[in-house]
Each structure stands twice: as structure tokens, then as C-alpha cells.
Amino acid sequence: MEAVLFFLAAIGALGGALGVIAMRNPFYSVLALIVHLFSLAALFLLLTAAFVAAAQVVVYAGAVMVLYVFVVAYVGGGGESAWEPIPGQRFLAPLLGIALFVELAVAVLSSSLLALGTDGPDVNAGFGNPAAIGRLLLEKFLLPFEASSILLLLAAVGAIVLASNRRDGERDTPDEPSPNREEGVSLSP
Amino acid sequence: MNTDWFVVLSALLFSTGAFGILLRRSPMVILLCLELMLNAGNLALVAFSRMVGNGQGQVFAVIVMVVAACEVVVGLGLIVAIFRRRLPLNVDDLRELRG
């Protein structure tokens, strides 16, 4: 049963990942990523990480993907140019991807981690539930927790600054000061 | 399921994301592929956490999720700023910073 669930979720995750790359329209890429994220949440549940799975669905598949959908709707799906800056990029990229996979798989599987071939130790029922994660976050990992909250605040402020409307005026007259601004200066006493 | 299945799947997803970054030229899709790579890392972290039988790896995964959310916010802000300046949304044309 567990193996069936694992392979179903793995097929979903891999199919979603390939769909992100293969779709021409960025909107469909976002939808494929949502499939990928839900499959990944199922994998997290198989690994008895209930809180991480819930956070994955709520934060990622919920909030972040809505942000993506909004930006895709705002920007629109531009077609990619057929021009290749590196000759043979379409053939080199899969080769490099496969090489990276082989390298990673060899590096992991040939490591001396003896527990890789096991299911892991038996854990109690509370393993990975919100209470356990919360206790770890607020006791052992308090500093990373607070640092990540500051990081979130900085990212929010940075996004507002980056995407603010103020840049529109700069774009219209990039080099010379705008006449309206000069008028304002001359009118002021 | 053994842990190595999860770790190999994570490596596969990571290389799929890297492949997408190498192949695609739209900044939006490149951000999505970055998400794939970060999520593959998360899967490996949670799998190793289960292998050791210790919940600390899951805390690591949650922090990675926070960092990924920040990366998305800043990246999408950059894309909106590029779009507002009427610049082409293509990483090959945005090469002014290249050395």
C-alpha cells in the first residue's frame, strides 16, 4: 500500500515537474507546478511529516501559486524566441540534466550512510505533527525562526519597492528631469 | 519505503529543475524551475529527517520554505518591474549586467 502511494505520488511529482518545463504557456506551467506540489505533500505525509505537508499545501499550493497566477495574468505569457544564444542548447541541456542526476544518485547511493536502505527507526505517533515542530522552532531553533520572520518582512518591503508605480515616471524621461518637476520647483518660494 | 527511494526521487526532481533552468528563457518559468529545485531539496531534508528519526530536519524544511517564499516575492517583483519598463521578458535580452 505504501509503495503504491509512493509511486503514484512520485509519478505525479515528476509529471508535474516535466509539465512545468514542457508547457509553452506560463499559466499551464503554474498549474503543473500545483500538481507537483500536491504530490510532494503526499510524499511528505508518507514520511510522517504532517506539518510540512500541510504547510506545503497551504503556503505553497495556496498562497505562492496565487501570487504566480496574478503575475502571469498581469504580464501575460510571452512567447520565447527561437533564437538560441548557445548553439545546440536544446541538446546540451538534457545531457547536462541527466549527467547531474547520475552524479547526484551515485553520490548519494554510494555514500556510507547505512540507514539509507532502511525505513528509518520507528517513531512515536507525535513525530512531525505541529506540536513537535512548534516546540522545536520555539525552543531549539528560536534564532532561525526569528531570522526567517525578519527575512519575510524584508522580502515584502523589497517587493513593494521593486514593483512600485514610482518607476513609471522615471521610465518616461530617463535622462532629463521631467518638466512638471521643474515647474514645481520654480513655483515653490 | 526505503529512504533511498525518496532520495533518488529528490535527485531526479532536482536535476529536472536544473534542466528546465538550462532550457527555458522566460524569467517566470526559470523561477518555477527554481521552485522545483528547492522542493527537491526539501524532500531530501524530510527523507533524511525520517531516516534519522529526528524532527529537526523538518524544521529545516520549513525554513527552506520560508526562504523560497521570499525568493518568489522578490523574483516576481523583479519581473513586474521589468514588465513595467517595457523591457523584453527574456533572459537572453536582459544581459546588461553581464561581464
CATH number at residue B13: 1.10.287.3510
- Say if CB A23 and CB A32 are below 8 A apart: yes
Residues 6+ apart with CB under 8 A from A73: A27
Of chain A residues 164-183, which have a CB less than 8 A from chain B?
A: 167-168, 171
| A148 interfaces chain B, CB cutoff of 8 Å | yes
Host domain of residue A11 = 1-78
Q: Rounded CA gap, B36 and B43, in Å?
A: 10
Best CA proximity match to A31, nearest among A71, A68, A6, A73:
A68
CA distances from A32 to A16, A48, B65, B81, B84 (A): 5, 25, 19, 25, 27
At residue B59, does pLDDT exceed 60? yes
| A74 interfaces chain B, CB cutoff of 8 Å | yes
In a domain, B46, yes or no: yes
Please count the residues of chain B: 99
In a domain, B44, yes or no: yes
| ipTM for the predicted complex | 0.91
In a domain, B33, yes or no: yes
In a domain, B97, yes or no: no
In a domain, A112, yes or no: no
Nearest CA in chain B to A151: B70
Tell me if A127 and B86 make a contact (CB, 8 A cut-off). no
What pLDDT score does A77 carry?
A: 67
Tell me if B18 and A96 make a contact (CB, 8 A cut-off). yes
Residues 6+ apart with CB under 8 A from B37: B13, B14, B17, B18, B21
Q: Between chain A and chain B, how many beta carbons pairs sit less than 8 Å apart?
A: 253
In a domain, A146, yes or no: no
Stretch among A27-41, A141-155, A171-185, B30-44 having the lowest mean pLDDT: A171-185
CATH number at residue A15: 1.20.120.1200
Domain count, chain A: 1
The SS3 of residue A131 is helix
At residue A80, does pLDDT exceed 80? no
In a domain, B66, yes or no: yes
At residue A188, does pLDDT exceed 90? no
Q: Rounded CA gap, A139 and A47, in Å?
A: 23
Residues 6+ apart with CB under 8 A from B89: A75, A78, B26, B27, B28, B79, B82, B83
- Say if CB B26 and CB B78 are below 8 A apart: no
In a domain, A86, yes or no: no
In a domain, B34, yes or no: yes
Which backbone phi and psi does B4 adopt, to 5 degrees?
Answer: -65, -30
| A39 interfaces chain B, CB cutoff of 8 Å | no
In a domain, A34, yes or no: yes
In a domain, A163, yes or no: no
At residue A82, does pLDDT exceed 80? no
In a domain, B47, yes or no: yes
Host domain of residue B53 = 3-84
Tell me if B2 and A118 make a contact (CB, 8 A cut-off). yes
Nearest CA in chain A to B55: A128
pTM listed for this prediction: 0.84
Domain count, chain B: 1
In a domain, A162, yes or no: no
In a domain, A100, yes or no: no
